[in-house]
Homo-oligomer: A and B are copies of this chain.
Amino acid sequence: MTQPLRIALAGLGTVGGGVIRLIEANGALIARRAGRPIEIVAVCARDRTKDRGVDLSRYQWEDDMTLLAGRDDVDVVVELVGGADGSALALARRTLAAGKGLVTANKAMIAHHGLELAEAAERGQAPLQFEAAVAGGIPIIKGLREGASANRIARVYGILNGTCNYILSTMEATGRDFADVLKEAQELGYAEADPTFDIEGIDAAHKLAILAAIAFGGRIDFGALEIAGITRIRAADIAQAAELGYVIRLIGLAECEAEGGGLFQRVQPCLVPLTHPLAAVDGPTNAVVVEGNFSGRLLFQGAGAGDGPTASAVVADLVDIARGQSAAPFSVPVNDLETLQPADAGRRRARAYLRFTVTDRPGVLAEITAAMRDAGVSIESLIQQGRPEEGGEVLVAMVTHEGPESGVSRALELLEGSPSITEPPLVMPLLG
């Protein structure tokens, strides 16, 4: 057996603990597969005394995280601190500048600084891997970058946030409302105390930006993503969708128009037909669909978070590095990534679900349908004019025929400022 791959772990939260447990449990097996052992040399976290359920005495403790990057006895730093900037980014920069490999689960950092880090990795001829940053234990980055490497990718989309999926599928199963289920998810540990990043779609957007760069060979432009979360979805929306044969899922979707065309990237709740494989994805599971021009539709599904699955992805990256098999993190060298223009979303054609919250008074329906007509939006079905809710509100929901998004936007503009409409209408496309 040749020299071990010596690693340092920065960050000993859930995932860090999982990595230690995994390497301790499966070390011999991993050594056989990797051709050499993977050995934890040093660790670092904020609080040395905290009980993490793992024995840290076998590893050297480093108080200053950035010093991990300078250690001669470390080949790869595993960054599990989190956060787009701050100490995680400082450590990542130092590590790559020192010519050491970097493995990270940090989606925010890669979405914001991935190109800079990939360039640093190229300069230092050091591996940079981040399988765990997208969809937990699912080897989707490998699947896309290597498994689907022969294909022009038409689109990549999926369920990228387990918290949202847990909330939506629980709302669906129980008929309960968003706030209620969120609270329960927080109590069960499926949602964080501050759930903003998850429920507003930002976490899913980080992951989508990474997948899109790999799929389409484009420079990450996180600011170009359109992002909508799930906070405005009501139990009534889910019930309406069910009547139509759909479930609601938070979908991140990236699609590139024909060669040289624009890149569309959006995270938003969508109506997913029950016949689609993503409709059956419940709870904190993630699933990603890759559509290639030769492969057809490939589906990758599994646990989107948790210490075990995320550690599985982190250590798979380490095994690749130990085997000497690190591909360019974004599939091609950074200089070969193209600057892709954002697509004109208004030209995208879809059927859409629209839900209006209106005051219960005469003429409201006429006002809405007239705006639709004037904007050239054809209504397929007006599926509800519900009984008044608290405060005299009524929900009006409809599904449009297939048409450009710009039509719906125009109709909503025409309705802007209407005293009958009590909150901004909710628009969700039907996944085609």
Contacting pair B312 A151 (CB below 8 A): yes
Contact with B along A294-320 (1 / 0, CB 8 A): 111111111100101101111110111
* Across-interface contacts of A303 in B (CB, < 8 A): 295-297
Q: A299-B299, A302-B298 are in contact. Are A32 and B143 (CB under 8 A)?
A: no
Q: Tell me whether A422 is interfacial, beta carbon within 8 Å.
A: no
CB A88 to nearest CB in B, in angstroms, measures 22
For residues 12 through 56 of chain A, which have their beta carbon under 8 Å from a beta carbon of chain B? 18, 22, 25-26, 29-30, 32-34
Contact with B along A143-158 (1 / 0, CB 8 A): 1001111111000000
Give Cα A149–Cα B312 distance, bound, in whole angstroms: 8
Contacting pair A26 B150 (CB below 8 A): yes
Q: A22-B294, A26-B294 are in contact. Are A147 and B151 (CB under 8 A)?
A: no
Q: Tell me whether A385 is interfacial, beta carbon within 8 Å.
A: no
Give Cα A361–Cα B306 distance, bound, in whole angstroms: 58
Contact with B along A251-278 (1 / 0, CB 8 A): 0000000000000000000000000010
Q: 11 extra interchain contacts, Cβ-Cβ under 8 A, other than A30-B150, A150-B312?
A: A25-B152, A26-B151, A32-B336, A33-B332, A137-B292, A138-B147, A138-B298, A139-B142, A295-B312, A296-B302, A300-B300
Q: Which positions in A face B, CB cutoff 8 Å? A: 18, 22, 25-26, 29-30, 32-34, 131, 137-139, 142-143, 146-152, 217, 277, 280, 287, 292-303, 306, 308-309, 311-316, 318-320, 323, 325, 327, 331-332, 336
